[in-house]
Every structure is written in C-alpha cells, then in structure tokens.
Amino acid sequence: MLLIIAALVPVTGKLNFETPAEEHNQSTSARGWITLPDPLPVDMILEKSISRRMSFHNGYPATPVTDEELSTVLWAAYGMTTDGGRTVYSPNGTYSTTIYVIRSDATYIYVPANHSLLLWKTGNYLYLGQTTGAPIKFGMVWNNSITADEKAGMAEIGMIAQNVYFDANALDLGTITTGMSVSDLYELDLPSNEKPEIIMHLGHPPTPYDFTYNPLPQSNLPVVINNTLTLAEAVNTRQIVNAWNTTELTLLQESQILWASYGTSYLYDNINHKRHRTLPSAIDIYPFKIYAANQSGVYQYLPASHSISLIVSGDKRQLIEDAVDPGNISVSSAPLIIIPFWDKNVGSQSYLTWWWYESGAIVHNILLEATALNLGGNALSVITDQNALRTALGLSAQTNLIALHVAMVGHTNGSTQNNPPLTPTLTGPSSGQRGIIYNYTVVTTDPDGDDVYYFIDWGDDTNSGWIGPFPSGMMVTLNHTWSQPGTYTIQAKARDTQSLESSWTTLEMTIGGPVLELEIKGGLGITVIINNTGTADATNITWKIAFEGGFVIPHQITGAIQELGIGEQYTVHPWVFGLGKKTITVSLTADDGATAEKIATGFFLMFIVVGVK
C-alpha cells in the first residue's frame, strides 16, 4: 500500500506546490496526501520506446499497477526535471493541465512540485469514461483560468499523453487515450474552470509485447537508428533554445527527427500484425502532412516510405519567420524547421481540439529526438499568416492545409559534444567449410555524421586491423578464410574520425569438417587412438608414428585409413622393440586438409612401453 500521510497542511505551508488544487472547491488544509516513491530507472533507448508505442483497447487483466510504476509514469507525464523544468514543454509558457488519478479506493490529483498525490474524492470512479478494466485511469482536464486558449491546453495534453505511452510500454504496461464519454469526469465534482479533455487507461496489457525488428524500406533517407540516450534522459534533459548556429544537420539527423515526428515504427507487432506509428491517431486517421525546410529547400515527409519529396528549392526560412509570431525565437537561424499541417480534407473541423492534441504530440517527439541527437529545439503555435506560410513552402494552392505548430531544431553553441559510432551491424554466413572464402558485411552510423573505420577480429587469432575511413551508413564487405574446423566468435567495432570507438558486436561462425584428435597409450607395444570429433567424415587419412632416442625397432611406422566417420574411432596398435626412454611422435593428414599431431615420451622395456605422457 502507498503511504498515506494524514496532514494538516496550511494553505501557505511548506509543500510549496504550484498545483491548481488551491483553486478547487475543496480545501487543501485537511486532505490526505500520498507520497509517491522515487520513479523507477527507465533505461530503454528513446527510439526503441517510440517504436513500441501502441494502444491497448480492452482486456486489461486485474493485475495491479505498483506504486513504483505509477510514480514513474506520472513523473514522465508531467513531473519536474532536475533543472526545475517540466517533462513536457509549453510553447506559451503555461502549464494548464490537471491530472486526476482514478483508482479503486479514491481519486487523487497529481502534484508535480512534490511528486505526490492529493486526495480529491473518495470512492471508486473507475467506471467513468470508456471502461476497459484497467486498474488506473488518468483524467486530464484543461484549466481555463491558467490559459484561455483551449487549443494550447490540448496540445500540452498531447505531449503528456506521449510520455504516458512511452513510459508505460518501457515498463511493459499498457495504455490508451480515449475521448468518448470524457464528460463523465464531471462526476468528480470538477471546478467550474476545468474542462475534461481525455481519459487515459493504465494497466498490464492483455498480451505481452511481441515485436520483431523489421527496418523500414530503403529510401532517400537513412535507416532509422537507435542513439545512446535513454527515454528518461531525453525527457529529463530536453534542450530548449531560441537560436542556433550555422552548422547544417546531417541527412541522418534530419531523417531521425522527421521519423520521430510522424513516422512508422521499425518494429513489427506480431500480436496485431502491423507497424505502429510514432504517435496515436484520434478516430483512427492521420490527417497531418509534415513539411520540412532547410537551407536547400522545402520537402514533404512521406511516412509510409520514410522518404522526402522536394517541394521547392531555395532557402525559405526567413519567409517562414515572417509568417509567424516568432517572439524571441530566431526561427530563420534554425537549420531545420518542421511544420505539421492539419489537412481539413482528411480530419473534420469538429475534431479540431484532437488535432491540436496530435500536433502537440508531434512537437513533443521532435524535441525529444533532437535531445537524443544533442541538438536544441523549440516550437511556437502562433501563425499570423497561414497564406504567407503556405506560399513560402510552395503550397499556396492548398488552402486545405492549416499549420498548427512550427518546430525548429539545430546545433547550438553548447551542442558540440562528439558521440561514438553506434554498435555496428555484422551480417554474413554462420556456418561453412575450411579453406573457403566467406564475405561479411559491416555497417554502422555515426550520430555526428563522421566517417568511420572498422576493426574485425575473426576469432582465429587474426584480425583485419583498422580499415577505412568510410562514410557513415555505408555498407562495407570484407572476407575471411578459416583453416581449421571449429566455432569462431567474430567481433566487429567501429571508430570515428575523432577516435571514439563503438561497442563490440559479435557473430558466431562454425567451420565444418573432420576434426582429428589423437591419444597415445603404452602397454604391450604402442596404442594410438584416432577420434573424429568434427562435423564431417574424414577420408584417406595417412598416419605416421616415429620414435627417437636410441635403440628402437622399427624407427618409423606408417599406414592409411580409408574413412573415419563422424564420432568414430580407429585404433593403431603396432609392435615395437626398444630399450630406454624414447620420444613418440604421431602425425596424420586427411584428404580435406585436416591434420593432427601429438608428441609423447615413454620408457621401453623390450616389447613393453610404460610411463607414456
């Protein structure tokens, strides 16, 4: 059970929280508080979490959500970061959302400032909204006394919901955003200045997540990669800036940001037999078109093929700035500007608040992915001249397109840290025969777009040395031959031009063929046992036994074995005569090149050999 702290907290007390609870119609001076435990560490890589984002519509089992899991999701949703900011970004500087946490025992308000729950109303209200059986529901409401702009409030809720999705799936929990019957939340006796917007469900999924890596098809954009920043780190260290330096983004960086904004997962959902999108849809449609502008022109992003199409050439960034209210943001200095347009021909006007929710989610993903790339971002929502903006982008005839946000990304003077290459991908055969040349392909990407070198350890005491440099993302083919059967661990790593190295990646290679092993025993004469412990028959084996060290008859014995099957054994038992200590050398060779040699010593007493070792 959560720790319930019954407290008499003065309105001006020590908790110092900024929640709108003081504006509610119930006094906070004698209400119960739940102190949430510290959030769990969420070490899932940001891009993987985005790719796992999905909705569970029903069938939540009765398994409870732990206090630690609830704490983690709530912090990500709307909590305070280590620098005193928030886990989501409000372009207009206001935070107007109240999160009601509905549980079977009571309904609480999440208080970000001290990461606690404030008791709002006792009783079980989990039946409110669309019922799915989830043990927890989040009622998210817009407080119009904080901001009168419902569209901005709904965009903020879209950002909050994204973090709920991301952290839920990273914890192997399930969630969904619902809007039907959301007015049921008024049963919680909401204040008059609060309007219900969405209800999110939180619980364990009815079936475990089951994804298979299935990269997006080849296009004119690089394949989506995982960077090194975890979801928690991206949420906690988001970089909001107002100006950028002139460093252009690499095509890989632009690819990553566009994909995060509105793309398709590189993971295939084996349960639902589909790829999910990087953000949810309202009413099962995606009515946005994504346009991007850089120094070279304006492009449309095409999510289905993860590609871009040139709309108009030339630098249009100043024209974009002229069509918006930039405030103190230097829009035209941003190396990449992303504009999500709502298409009125696809998404109905009656769902406009939902399109603001979705546009907010798009912006949030852009800002998180920019952070993962060590870039700074910002966004604004005041478009002063839609016609001028469309004209700047070469879209003047498409009056059905309405821009809801403008997002900007780029390098800042502080974002110059170099990052090592990602762990390379190594592909090639995993089995073969000795003496055959086998080709292997290695590829990696460098987050900074640096050229890369590769080092391959073949597992047989040989390596490639550092080869390169090669462009980031370019596939490189190398080959190798193994001389002996066995299982070899091939290792590959990459190094950028700044001498930062990636982690190793490994691949096992099994070289088939006979493996001949020898055992020498004494007794009445010499006994040599030949074993084939390999994966193929040995044929035409020639063997030789030689004796050194004085008097011995004969000095050498030879013979042949026509065939020795897998797992079979052959015994050679020659008679010898000698006196004194002798060196015994046994060697053999098979047709396919398999060889073996063993040297031992023994003490000869005429026909008897003892002390063989």
Other beta carbons less than 10 A from residue 279's beta carbon: 25
385-408 pLDDT tens trace: 999 999 999 999 999 999 999 999
pLDDT for the residue numbered 512: 84
- Rounded to an integer, the average pLDDT of 141-161 is 93
Homologous superfamily of 211-240+249-410: NADH Oxidase (3.40.109.10)
Instruction: Say which residues have a Cβ less than 8 Å from residue 212's Cβ, sequence separation at least 6.
Output: 267, 268, 270
pLDDT above 80 (res 352): yes
pLDDT above 80 (res 12): no
Q: Which amino acid is at 220?
A: N
Give the residue ranges of DSSP H helices in 341-426. 352-372, 386-392
- Domain ranges (residues) in the chain: 4-16+31-44+61-203, 211-240+249-410, 425-512, 516-610
Other beta carbons less than 10 A from residue 253's beta carbon: 24
Q: Which of 169, 189, 321, 297 is nearest to 231 (CA)?
A: 169
Compute the mean pLDDT over every residue in the chain, rounded to the nearest whole number. 88
pLDDT for the residue numbered 14: 26
Give Cα 62 distance to the centre of its chain: 29
pLDDT for the residue numbered 498: 67
Q: What is the distance between the alpha carbons of residues 139 and 197, in angstroms, rounded to a whole number?
A: 8
- Rounded to an integer, the average pLDDT of 342-359 is 92
Q: Is 432 helix (H, G, I), strand (E, B) or coil?
A: strand
Helix (H) and strand (E) counts in the chain: 8, 36
pLDDT above 90 (res 503): no
Instruction: Say which residues have a Cβ less than 8 Å from residue 402's Cβ, sequence separation at least 6.
Output: 341, 342, 344, 386
Q: Which amino acid is at 410?
A: G
Instruction: Say which residues have a Cβ less than 8 Å from residue 559's Cβ, sequence separation at least 6.
Output: 542, 543, 572
pLDDT for the residue numbered 26: 38
- pLDDT-derived band at 283 (thresholds 50, 70, 90) equals confident
Give Cα 221 distance to the centre of its chain: 18
- Looking at domain 516-610, its CATH architecture is Sandwich (2.60)
pLDDT for the residue numbered 93: 72
CATH fold for domain 425-512: Immunoglobulin-like (2.60.40)
Domains 425-512 and 516-610 share a fold: yes
525-564 pLDDT tens trace: 899 999 988 888 888 999 999 999 878 899 899 999 999 9
Selecting from 3.40.1010.10, 3.90.1170.50, 3.40.109.10, 3.90.1150.10, what CATH number does the domain 4-16+31-44+61-203 have? 3.40.109.10
| pTM exceeds 0.75, yes or no | no
The percentage of the chain sitting over the pLDDT mark of 90, rounded to a whole number, equals 67
Three-state SS across 216-259?
Answer: CCCCCCCCCCCCCCEHHHHHHCCCECCCCCCCCCCHHHHHHHHH
- Rounded to an integer, the average pLDDT of 143-164 is 93
